[in-house]
Chains A and B, each alone.
Chain A
Amino acid sequence: GAVVSQHPSWVICKSGTSVKIECRSLDFQATTMFWYRQFPKQSLMLMATSNEGSKATYEQGVEKDKFLINHASLTLSTLTVTSAHPEDSSFYICSARDSKAAKNTEAFFGQGTRLTVV
């Protein structure tokens, strides 16, 4: 079945540094991917829509200069957390759906990336 893979699964970084998280669709093409953030014991919060070949669309309250999104190919979207701070520590999850499939085809989620900023 369709798989969405994230890398890395977990990362620890120092405060002030930047971290890049990759999201790949392994056996389908995705012109659109979504990035979510999840804090402990909370639900997923949509951060942004990643669009292949164009700028990402950010949800209200999400800083586009802090969370840089690049969707350079039909199978890869990256989220870069710039100048990370401890409050950015969270579980980041991406999702995607096969762009060529029927409109009621389900979306698949990556396994998530646990970011810890120390």
Chain B
Amino acid sequence: LAKTTQPISMDSYEGQEVNITCSHNNIATNDYITWYQQFPSQGPRFIIQGYKTKVTNEVASLFIPADRKSSTLSLPRVSLSDTAVYYCLVGDGYNFNKFYFGSGTKLNVKP
């Protein structure tokens, strides 16, 4: 069973910052939080991963509160090409990232 809950869809406009929040109330001590992006008819693509606090890379930031029961993916200044489905996953690195996918969030970026 999926361990995560996300909004089914979100709308945004080009140039805006988008924040997608994910709930994972039953996250285990060994679990990492990973976000993937998927375009139609393509495999998921890694965006960012974190364990606690804040992680930032060249494309996104990931905010994780102290209790780790939720996380927020932040996409700065989105463009039309960011229209995709975003999946929040929690995985145990000891199991080689065996993921059970939730519904994901369909982000629609409008001009």
Is there a chain B Cβ closer than 8 Å to A58's Cβ?
Answer: no
Query: Complex formed: what's the CA distance from A108 to B43 in Å?
Result: 9
Chain A interface: which size bin? 20 to 34
How many inter-chain residue pairs (CB < 8 Å) link A and B?
Answer: 69
- B103 proximity list for chain A (CB < 8 A): 43
- B97 proximity list for chain A (CB < 8 A): 34, 95, 97, 106-107
Interface size in chain B (residues, C-beta < 8 A): 26
Interface-centre pick from B44, B91, B103 (highest chain A CB count, 10 A): B44
Q: Given A106-B46, A106-B49, A112-B41, is A43 in contact with B96 using a C-beta cutoff of 8 Å? A: no
Contact A95–B99 (Cβ < 8 Å): yes
A residues with a Cβ closer than 8 A to B are: 4, 6, 30-32, 34, 36, 43-46, 49, 91, 93, 95-97, 99, 102-112, 114
